[in-house]
Amino acid sequence: MSKKAAATPAPETAPAKSKRTPLLLVALASAALAGGAGAAGAWLWQKPAPSGEAAPQAKAREKPVNAKAERKAPPQFVNLDLFTVNLHEEGGERYLQVGIVLQAVDQTAVDEVKQHMPVIRSRLLLLLSSKSADELLTVDGKQKLSSEILDQVRGPLAAKAPGKGLEGVLFSSFVIQ
């Protein structure tokens, strides 16, 4: 009897192993097929036309619509430290914790923001603490706050290049408690 008991568990574990193996093989084969198809498509897309004339898609890629767009540098981002402020509330205490990222057009603008950081942080703390939770809970309220932050940040930078250098304000976190 002990020989049968010892032999019985072995066949039970073997089918479970074999059920996973075909599924794994199918998954790997489909991933390899998809990768191969993607590589072949990329190779064919970039291959020049056999005749002496370039394909219309290739011409469109070669000729920029706007010459300035081609020369435009990628945007630079400046992460500001988290801001935690008491919100302006009647009858209760509410807090706002917000992470702000400034989008600048180039490294010169980033350097200007860093140079004026104490003034910028002070202006933003005053702006954020003047808001109520009801104002900031809606999408419109957050968009309005974003434009107000941009105005406050551009203030100290206006002497160098008014309105230039900063393109936008992004929120990396936004918590009202």
Q: How is residue 100 written in tokens?
A: 């702000």
pLDDT tens by residue, 116-156:
999 999 999 999 999 999 999 999 999 999 999 999 988 88
Ranking 32-41, 106-115, 142-151, 161-170 by mean pLDDT, the lowest is 32-41
pTM exceeds 0.85, yes or no:
no
The long-range contacts involving 137-144, CB below 8 angstroms and separated by at least 24 positions, are: 137/176, 142/171, 142/174
Phi/psi of residue 18, nearest 5 degrees: -70, -25
In this prediction, residues 94-100 reach a mean pLDDT of: 93
Residue 154 burial (CB count, 10 A):
18
pLDDT at res. 19: 58
Q: How is residue 61 written in tokens?
A: 């890629």
Map residue 162 onto helix, strand or coil.
coil
For 71-176, CATH gives 3.30.479.30
Return d(Cα 126, Cα 87) in angstroms, integer. Answer: 10
**Average predicted confidence (pLDDT) for the chain:** 75
Residue 27 burial by Cβ neighbours in a 10 Å radius (0-12, 13-18, 19+) = exposed
